[in-house]
Amino acid sequence: MEGQIIGLLGGRAAEELIFGEGGTTSGASNDLSRVTDYARRMASEWGMSAEVGLLNLAPMPGGSLMEMQMRGERTMSEHLAQTIDREMQRITAEGYAQAQKLLVDHRDTLEKLVARLIEIETIEREEFLELVSNGS
């Protein structure tokens, strides 16, 4: 799951690395939605957070516990809700840091991909794999 989060955050991290902090676009919006969903589920449903513990706060007939909480229905303590929020932030931040590190470590390959994409806009899978395998 962490690998999926790192991969999803890679596009945003690459934009920031290439164009600087102010150069990011809304292109990663769907990826960020998916990362948020994964981080929330890791922390609140799948027992993947030591801070939250082995709880499954999965959706219920009235909606998810988080949705019920937002409607003002008390489903968990404020402390637990804040812990889940912190864990989501931690999971996302750690994934983003890993994505940045991978891109920095393989910056030459990233530069080749950027140059090729500027040239032709779309890269087929085979060409992508060739560029990446030759750059590592």
Quick: pLDDT tens for 36-75: 999 999 998 888 989 888 888 776 666 665 666 667 666 6
pTM for the model stands at 0.78
Q: What is the pLDDT of residue 89?
A: 97
Q: What is the pLDDT of residue 28?
A: 76
Bridge partners of 63?
A: 60
Q: What's the one-letter identity of residue 53? A: G
Q: Is 61 exposed, middle or buried (0-12, 13-18, 19+ CB in 10 A)?
A: exposed
Bridge partners of 60?
A: 63
Instruction: Name the stretches of the chain with pLDDT < 70.
Output: 24, 59-70, 72-75, 135-136
Q: What is the pLDDT of residue 85?
A: 93
Q: What is the pLDDT of residue 69?
A: 64
Q: What is the pLDDT of residue 38?
A: 94
Residue 75 corresponds to which tokens in the numbers above? 């489903």
Residue 16 makes CB contacts below 8 A (sequence gap 6+) with: 23, 24, 100
Contact 128, 113 (CB under 8 A): yes
